[in-house]
Every structure is written in C-alpha cells, then in structure tokens.
Amino acid sequence: MAMNDSVNILNSAYLAVEYIDSFLPDNPLQQPFKNAWNYMLDNYTKFQIATWGSLIVHEVSYFLLCVPGFVFQFIPYMQKYKIQQDKPETWEKQWKCFKTLLFNHFFIQLPLICGTYYFTEYFNIPYEWEEMPRWYVLVAQCFGCAVIEDAWHYFLHRLLHHKRIYKYIHKVHHEFVSPFGMQAEYAHPLETLILGTGFFIGIVVFCNHVILLWAWVICRLMETIDVHSGYDVPLNPLHLVPFYAGARFHDFHHMNFIGNYASTFTWWDRIFGTDSQFIAYKEKEKKQQLIMKK
C-alpha cells in the first residue's frame, strides 16, 4: 500500500512538472545542441564517445570550473570572501597540485573512464537523442546521485581519518590546510579509487542514457570545486540546494582535520554529531562579529 502511494506521488509530481514545462518558452539552445549531438553520433563510434567524450567533459569542466577561484587570488576585492585570509595561495603549491592532478587524471581516472563503453553496452544504455531524458528528469537523477555519493563519502571519508590509516592515504589530500579549487581532486591514488567509487553507484542505479554520465560529472565537479574553493562568495546559486554544505563547511574540515566529513550535504554530520565543533566555531564567530559592531 505504501509503495503504491509513493508511486502515485512520484507520478503526480512528474505530471505536474511536465505540465509546468509545457508553458515554458522553447529553449533556443535545444536545436543547436540536438544538431551537435546527432553530428557526434554520426561521426564517432560509441567507444570514442564514451571514452574520449567522457575524458574531454571531465578535463574541460574541471579546469574551467577552477578558473573563478584561481582568478580571485588576483582580485583584492575578493579577498574579503576568502575564508582563511592568513593563508594565501602560492605558485609553488598550485604547480605541485597541477602536476599531481595530471597524474591522477591520466593514470588513475582515464583507465576507469575506458570502462565506460563496456558499462553502457552491458546495461544497454542508449546514446540516441530521441531517448534522452527531459531536463527535469536529469536534474532529479543528478540529485539522486549526489545523495548516494554523499552517504558513501561520509562513511568512507570518516574511515580514512582513522588514526591507523590516515597518514598512509588521506594525509595527502590534507597537505593543503587552506584549500583552493584545483585541489579538489588532489589525493592519494587509493583515495581516488576509494572515494571515487561513490560517484559510480548512482550511475548504476539511475543511468538510462549516456547524457547522465556527463551531467553527473559536471554536477559533482561543480560541487567539489566549490567546497574546496576557499571562498565563501555571497549569492552562490549552489546555496539554494537544500542542506548544501558549501565552502565554509568543508574549509573548517581542512583547518581542523576533523568533523564535517560529508561531501555535499550536512545531514550525515548532523545525525552523527560530527559537525558539533563547526557549530561551536560559527557561534563564536557570530559573537565576535556582534562585539565588533558594538
């Protein structure tokens, strides 16, 4: 009975969104995107699309999303939004980070990406434009992937902080006490595999078109680069996402090496009380600000 009620609610929600969507103006980018997508299908094999397409989406998205945070360090006005203002970025650290990223991307992640084609073939996942899900279905799927990845990340990330294994694996990621966007995937190769597994679980659960692979890559990179940016910028659209953790939440983890273990949302840390030090820190900040105003 409960299952039928849930299905009815989901169907009603789907119909409601579809009804609202019918009143929205046509997306002017849809036709050019359709033409580009069909051109890709006509000129490249599924293996090329799944492998090299996924690599290009990852690399281009990653470094483009890093650009704002990288530019902020040269803009004096933006320094008031930097969370750890006493720890500016240095060229030496950024260059070291970049070299490690290239190694991880091409020697750890690329072999995993090479399995994308075989994954889509095994599960018979379509590539055709006609079978591409609507935008609101894609958004819901990406949110579902984020919820699953967040749960995996919380428990495995917390495990990696265990005193018996921390110095062997996760300590690499914590080399930078004050994080910056490009450092999001700066990690020990084993950590890349361990925490990266959470990314693929949602794909297995939700994937009904190859576009979800790329949409979820972009969403996940957007989130992880934002929380590692080191800047708490106002009017950040990601803060509209319910229970979104954000840069200040994760920056505290890098400052103190404890608590705030989740990747995207705050609920797991709230449930297990691993955000208690962060809450106390925020309260202390508020009191100091009130004193300064007086």
pLDDT (tens digit per residue) in 116-146: 999 999 999 999 999 999 989 999 999 999 9
151-166 mean pLDDT = 97
The answer to whether the CB of 166 falls within 8 A of the CB of 188 is: no
pTM: 0.90
For residue 261 the two structure tokens come to 């273990």
Q: What is the pLDDT of residues 230-287, one digit of tens each?
A: 999 999 999 999 999 999 999 999 999 989 999 999 999 999 999 999 999 888 877 7
The DSSP call for residue 81 is G
For residue 51 the two structure tokens come to 């492998």
Count the Cβ atoms, other than its own, within 10 Å of residue 116: 23
55-72 mean pLDDT = 96
- What whole-number distance in Å separates Cα of residue 51 and Cα of residue 117? 7
Per-residue pLDDT for 22 more than 70?
no
- What whole-number distance in Å separates Cα of residue 116 and Cα of residue 47? 8
The per-residue DSSP string of 185-245 comes to G---HHHHHHHHHHHHHHHHHH-SSHHHHHHHHHHHHHHHHHHTSSB--TT-GGGGSTTB-
Better-predicted residue by pLDDT, 284 or 54: 54
The pLDDT value recorded for residue 285 is: 77
